């Protein structure tokens, strides 16, 4: 009987020792999401933001303009952007209210109001960068639209102990989209659109995140349209998410000159 007990004890000890010798998975592997769930969660986070208000410093670099100023932006998804630009001591310089269908731009210094139907050429005249309405909306909110990737697997999917790396290739358009996402917070820190030879067409960099409604929102955003040599640098001091916004209309003096575009 003693020998039997000793044998059983020895077997148990050997099993325990064998299990202890099996290398454990790195901690980050325990929380890894498959690519389809990751993209769906990122897009879900983007859509959680219904309203957005931010104040800070806006810098624009393009062949037409090199400037920076204090600003306030208010977004009401899916179709309204109000942007106010201020000079030293909070002096009003300009206000713009843009929807997908129309725009109003008030040049305070010249007391001129420009209004009309929204077109890409109009957005370029107002913001001095060649971005679409949706691109501007996402840029101000520090987000990237992933809708086109919801129903497809990435062509490359890698990760390390800090980040996910996803690549989607579009052979017909000769382009590929690359995303870098923080492993734990799911904050999207870099987006790059490139041609298949490796030349960067567009890039967005995002950092200094804070959670709003469980969504990581960056206080610093830098987006660059390399093809047109244009960039927008956004440095927020204050951000509010999903709060009720005050009236988005622009207060225009009765003596302002109204110009139809």
Average pLDDT over residues 79-89: 92
**High-pLDDT (> 90) share of the chain, %:** 70
Binned at pLDDT 50, 70 and 90, residue 6 comes out as very low
- pLDDT for 30 equals 55
Look at residues 244, 246, 220 and name the one whose alpha carbon lies nearest to residue 233: 220
The answer to whether 258 and 113 are in contact (CB under 8 A) is yes
**Could you read off the pLDDT of 216-256 as tens digits, one per residue?**
999 999 999 998 899 999 999 999 999 999 778 899 999 99
Alpha-carbon dihedral angle through residues 237, 222, 71, 74, given to the nearest 10 degrees: -90
pLDDT at 22 over 70: no
Predicted model pTM: 0.85
- pLDDT for 29 equals 52
The domains found in the chain, sorted by start residue, are 32-243 (2.50.20.10)
104-108, 213-217, 242-246: least confidently modelled range: 242-246
The answer to whether 188 and 221 are in contact (CB under 8 A) is no
Average pLDDT over residues 69-92: 93
Binned at pLDDT 50, 70 and 90, residue 128 comes out as confident
How do strand 188-195 and strand 92-99 relate by DSSP bridges? unpaired
Binned at pLDDT 50, 70 and 90, residue 28 comes out as very low
Average pLDDT over residues 115-134: 83
The answer to whether 107 and 97 are in contact (CB under 8 A) is no
62-76, 82-96, 118-132, 158-172: least confidently modelled range: 118-132
């Amino acid at each position: 009987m003693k020998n039997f007990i000793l044998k059983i004890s020895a077997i148990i000890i050997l099993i325990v020792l064998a299990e202890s010798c099996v290398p454990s998975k790195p901690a980050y592997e325990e929380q890894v999401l498959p690519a389809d769930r990751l993209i769906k969660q990122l897009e879900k986070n983007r859509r959680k933001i219904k309203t957005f208000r931010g104040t800070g410093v806006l810098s624009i670099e393009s062949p037409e303009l090199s400037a920076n100023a204090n600003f306030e932006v208010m977004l009401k998804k899916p179709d309204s952007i109000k942007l106010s630009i201020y000079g030293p001591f909070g002096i009003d310089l300009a206000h713009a209210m843009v929807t997908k269908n129309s725009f109003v731009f008030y040049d305070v210094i010249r007391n001129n109001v420009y209004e009309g139907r929204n077109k890409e050429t109009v957005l370029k005249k107002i913001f001095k960068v060649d971005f679409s309405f949706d691109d501007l909306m996402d840029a101000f909110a520090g987000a990237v639209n992933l809708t086109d990737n919801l129903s497809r697997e990435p062509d490359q999917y890698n990760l390390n102990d800090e980040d996910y790396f996803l690549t989607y290739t579009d052979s017909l358009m000769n382009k590929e989209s690359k995303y870098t996402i923080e492993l734990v917070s799911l904050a999207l820190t870099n987006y790059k659109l490139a041609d298949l030879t490796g030349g960067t067409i567009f890039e967005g960099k995002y950092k200094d995140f804070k959670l709003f409604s469980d969504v990581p929102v960056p206080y610093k955003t830098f987006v660059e349209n390399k093809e047109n040599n244009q960039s927008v640098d956004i440095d927020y001091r204050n951000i509010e998410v999903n709060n009720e916004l005050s009236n988005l209309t622009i207060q225009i003096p009765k003596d302002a000159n109204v110009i139809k575009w």
